[in-house]
Structure 1
Amino acid sequence: MTTYYRDPEVLITSSGVRMNGRDFRLPDLIQVWYTRGARSWSVIAWRGALGLTILLPLLAGGLAIAVAVLLDTELSTTLTLVVGGILLGLAVVPVADLLLERVDHSYDRGSRNLEIWGRVRGGDVLLLRTDNAQRFGRIYRALQRALEPAVRR
């Protein structure tokens, strides 16, 4: 028996599938497909907020430097504004890595619900529902690999 995918909720082997608390033999799955739900605008807004959080200190630093150059002030005031602008722009560097990691995780999870459906003799069955796009892709590919030999027989 070959195991194609295993996690605490899903098991896909060469002999069967366990998803959503139910067991199915591979020959019992007549057809398998997936659907994608509507986009979650709150996830997209969260990504935008993270992007703005990274850009705002850079914009403020650039604005401080522009103001320092455009204003006709003493040299010490100009230098203070330029150095302050540079420091403000550099302040984002340590935080940017953390925020970009959050953005990466947001894209891994996806912005919509994904479902795997199967057709059995009794009708259509929801096999899996998740908002984790990365996990969904692994499970769906494993299910396709498991079903390939069953189709060739």
Structure 2
Amino acid sequence: MVTYYRDRDVRVTSGGVRIGGHDYRLDDFAQVWHERGRRQWKAVAGRGALGLAMMTPLVVGALGVLVALVIDASVATTIALVGGSVLIGLAAAPLADVLLEFVDRSYDRGSRRLEIWADVRGARTMLVRTDDAQRFGQIYRALQRALDHHPVSR
């Protein structure tokens, strides 16, 4: 028996599917499809906030350099302001590295509720509902592979 996908709630094999405590034979599926829910603006706003957090040190550094050049201060004060502003701007690099990791994870999770549906013995049945786009894709592809490699015995 070939296992196409397995986690604590879902198991897709060449022998059948176990989802949410229910067992299905591959012959039980007449059709499998997916549906996407509405966009969750909380996830989109979170990505925007992360982008803003990455840009903030650059903007503050640029403003500091601009202020240092515009004000009428001594050379030592101007050099100190420019140096401090450049250091603040350089802080954007390590901060961006950390924040980009969070952005990547947010795209893995996705911004929509995803559902896998099937026509099981004539009844429309929701098999999986998740916000995790990566997990959804793995389960859906595993179902497709299992059904593609299953001999039709109808």
TM-score norm. by structure 2 comes to: 0.93
Report the AA paired with residue 138 of structure 1: Q
1:62 matches 2:62? yes
Deviations 1:13-45 (A, max 9, x none): 011001122111001000000000000001100
1:84 matches 2:84? yes
| Superposed counterparts of 1:1-153, under 5 Å | 1-150=1-150
Looking at structure 2, the residues matched to 95 and 136 of structure 1 have their Cα atoms a distance apart, in angstroms, of 30
Shift of 1:117: 0.3
What is the aligned length?
153
| SS of alignment partner, residue 150 of structure 1 | coil
Aligned structure 1 segments of 4 or more residues deviating by more than 3 angstroms: none
Shift of 1:152: 5.2
Question: Any conservation in 1 of the 2:27–2:152 contact (CA below 8 Å)?
Answer: no
| SS of alignment partner, residue 51 of structure 2 | helix
Q: Which runs of 5+ in 1 are unaligned?
A: none
Q: Which runs of 5+ in 2 are unaligned?
A: none
Looking at structure 2, the residues matched to 26 and 20 of structure 1 have their Cα atoms a distance apart, in angstroms, of 16
Deviations 1:119-150 (A, max 9, x none): 01241011000100011111111100000023
Shift of 1:74: 1.7
Shift of 1:92: 2.9
Q: CA RMSD in A?
A: 1.4
Looking at structure 2, the residues matched to 90 and 115 of structure 1 have their Cα atoms a distance apart, in angstroms, of 43
| SS of alignment partner, residue 124 of structure 2 | strand
Looking at structure 2, the residues matched to 69 and 151 of structure 1 have their Cα atoms a distance apart, in angstroms, of 75
TM-score norm. by structure 1 comes to: 0.94
Question: Any conservation in 1 of the 2:118–2:126 contact (CA below 8 Å)?
Answer: yes
Report the AA paired with residue 133 of structure 2: A
